[in-house]
């Protein structure tokens, strides 16, 4: 609530009933009203009456919103062990070990872009009313180092940062997010949009997705129970379903082209939602329509189709994603569903005609090229690649 006082510019008088308030009996609610505020330990009703009747204090009459000082660029020097502990204890990480952002490592990371390290990239918050925190190219590089990324990943991470969009939007329901990369940069980074693309098998997918959440913690001030109120949290938040689209195997134009970009441009598209259903099998329009009708989503529908599914749809005559989206909306007859809220992304390794359904909301497609150095993505002498899933070279082993 201290944060909220800052937000409102005044020291509002608040009282807290115990939680939950929803889905409890009237007897329970009465016991809340006749009981104590669990935060202060004082009788709740007395607090409410006090809030309405007690004259304003001098502090309340003259309240000034807090101006927090700017933070120092460098932390106090310490041993690696102590600094790892410091980052954990301050809540600056996702709970996993990080790569410490030493001056040397951050300087190396910054070779991944030509942009001025002190250029402001954006403002972020995980709640609608909190103070936005401002961050520069250098701050993004710091979090990229922490995530285990290398300079070649920095342009995509900067593009995500420039969206100002957090991967940890605060809601008692627990959002998950997704980041899908399109265009030439995906191949340059060795990203995976094929077999097991969402699994823990690809370096670039993992570190880019992780960097988004570290930025959301450190730029969005995500604090569990304070600013981030999800009751469960979401396991997707560690790496945010980060992958690239399987453009090579898709019969349709890439997702970013559907959003107005050119095929040769590189982008990252961002999504958020609550529910992901992994196992839907079928490659016909009727089956996907049935999934949509049974999904129970809240007006947004994002389907992630294995290429076999997209190819099956193309054989049915849906030669573009747009045509299929239009058909889905028309045939679903759901009054709240609009074409622009239906997203189709092609990802997968052609193991089976399986598609993922989700209530993910499309939030933005961010251009990556403007963050890439003039000399191109910084190439490593020995590009770091994890084993890739085995796929048929001629694409003929699919079931479709």
Instruction: State which of positions 252-291 bind other proteins (CB under 8 A).
Output: none
Asked if 189 and 377 touch (Cβ cutoff 8 Å), the reply is yes
Residues in Cβ contact with 375 at an 8 Å cutoff, skipping those fewer than 6 apart = none
The piece of 44-52, 245-253, 287-295, 346-354 that touches other proteins (CB under 8 A) is 44-52
The distance of closest approach from Cβ of residue 78 to other proteins in the complex, given in angstroms and rounded to an integer, is 6
Distances in Å between the Cα of 229 and the Cα atoms of 24, 165, 168, 184, 219 are 20, 17, 10, 38, 17
The distance of closest approach from Cβ of residue 276 to other proteins in the complex, given in angstroms and rounded to an integer, is 17
Is residue 113 part of the contact set for other proteins (CB under 8 A)?
no
Q: Toward other proteins, which CB reaches closer, 250 or 300?
A: 300
Chain centre distance of CA 320: 27
Give the x/- contact pattern for other proteins in 332-351, rule: CB under 8 A: --------------------
> Is 258 strand, coil or helix?
helix
Element housing 189 (H / E): none
The distance of closest approach from Cβ of residue 237 to other proteins in the complex, given in angstroms and rounded to an integer, is 16
The distance of closest approach from Cβ of residue 398 to other proteins in the complex, given in angstroms and rounded to an integer, is 36
Tell me the C-alpha distance between 138 and 27, whole Å. 55
> In the window 151-180, what residues touch other proteins (CB under 8 A)?
163-166, 169, 171-172
Kind of pairing, strands 242-244 and 176-182?
parallel
Give the x/- contact pattern for other proteins in 220-249, rule: CB under 8 A: xx-------x--------------------
Is residue 70 part of the contact set for other proteins (CB under 8 A)?
yes
The piece of 72-80, 181-189, 245-253, 276-284 that touches other proteins (CB under 8 A) is 72-80
Q: Toward other proteins, which CB reaches closer, 52 or 390?
A: 52
Residues in Cβ contact with 367 at an 8 Å cutoff, skipping those fewer than 6 apart = 159, 261, 265, 266, 267
Is residue 9 part of the contact set for other proteins (CB under 8 A)?
yes
Q: What is the dihedral of CA 211, 212, 213, 214, to 10 degrees?
A: 40
The distance of closest approach from Cβ of residue 354 to other proteins in the complex, given in angstroms and rounded to an integer, is 27
Asked if 176 and 237 touch (Cβ cutoff 8 Å), the reply is yes
> In the window 347-376, what residues touch other proteins (CB under 8 A)?
361, 363
Is residue 60 part of the contact set for other proteins (CB under 8 A)?
yes
Among the listed residues 328, 307, 310, 306, the one whose alpha carbon sits nearest the alpha carbon of residue 319: 310
The distance of closest approach from Cβ of residue 115 to other proteins in the complex, given in angstroms and rounded to an integer, is 17
Is residue 68 part of the contact set for other proteins (CB under 8 A)?
yes
Is residue 125 part of the contact set for other proteins (CB under 8 A)?
yes
Residues in Cβ contact with 180 at an 8 Å cutoff, skipping those fewer than 6 apart = 242, 243, 244, 245, 255, 268, 269, 271, 345, 347
> In the window 285-324, what residues touch other proteins (CB under 8 A)?
299-300
Tell me the C-alpha distance between 320 and 93, whole Å. 41
The piece of 78-86, 288-296, 316-324, 343-351 that touches other proteins (CB under 8 A) is 78-86
The piece of 133-141, 179-187, 256-264, 288-296 that touches other proteins (CB under 8 A) is 133-141
User: What are residue 270's DSSP bridge partners?
Assistant: 179, 364
The token pair at 127 is: 């709640």
């Amino acid at each position: 609530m201290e944060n909220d006082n800052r937000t409102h510019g005044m020291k509002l008088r608040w009282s807290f009933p115990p939680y939950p308030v929803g889905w409890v009996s009237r007897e329970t609610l009465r016991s809340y009203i006749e009981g104590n505020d669990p935060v202060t330990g004082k009788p709740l009703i007395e607090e409410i009456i006090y809030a309405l009747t007690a004259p304003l204090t001098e502090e309340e009459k003259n309240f000034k919103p807090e101006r927090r000082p700017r933070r120092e660029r460098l932390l106090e020097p310490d041993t690696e062990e102590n600094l790892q502990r410091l980052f954990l204890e301050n809540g600056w990480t996702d709970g996993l070990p990080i790569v410490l952002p030493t001056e040397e490592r951050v300087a190396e990371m910054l070779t991944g872009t030509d942009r001025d390290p002190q250029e402001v990239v954006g403002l972020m918050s995980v709640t609608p009313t909190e103070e936005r925190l401002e961050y520069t190219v250098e701050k993004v590089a710091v979090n990229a180092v922490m995530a285990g990324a290398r300079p070649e990943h920095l342009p995509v991470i900067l593009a995500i940062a420039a969206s100002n969009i957090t991967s940890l939007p605060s809601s008692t329901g627990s959002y998950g997010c997704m980041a899908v990369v399109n265009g030439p940069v995906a191949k340059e980074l060795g990203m995976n949009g094929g077999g097991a693309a969402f699994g823990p098998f690809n370096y670039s997918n993992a570190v880019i997705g992780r960097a988004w959440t570290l930025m959301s913690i450190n730029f969005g001030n995500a604090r569990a129970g304070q600013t981030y109120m999800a009751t469960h949290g979401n396991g997707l938040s560690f790496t945010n379903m980060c992958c690239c689209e399987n453009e090579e195997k898709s019969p349709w134009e890439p997702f970013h082209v559907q959003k107005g970009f050119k095929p040769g441009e590189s982008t990252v598209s961002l999504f958020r939602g609550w529910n992901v259903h992994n196992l839907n099998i079928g490659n016909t329009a009727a089956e996907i329509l049935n999934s949509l009708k049974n999904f129970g989503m809240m007006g947004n529908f994002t389907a992630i189709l294995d290429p076999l599914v997209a190819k099956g749809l193309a054989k049915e005559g849906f030669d573009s994603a747009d045509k299929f989206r239009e058909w889905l909306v028309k045939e679903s007859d759901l009054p709240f569903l609009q074409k622009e809220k239906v997203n189709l992304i092609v990802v997968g390794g052609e193991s089976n005609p399986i598609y993922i359904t989700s209530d993910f909301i499309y939030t933005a497609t961010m251009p990556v090229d403007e963050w890439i150095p003039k000399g191109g993505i910084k190439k490593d002498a020995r590009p770091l690649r994890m084993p890739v899933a085995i796929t048929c070279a001629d694409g003929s082993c699919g079931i479709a």
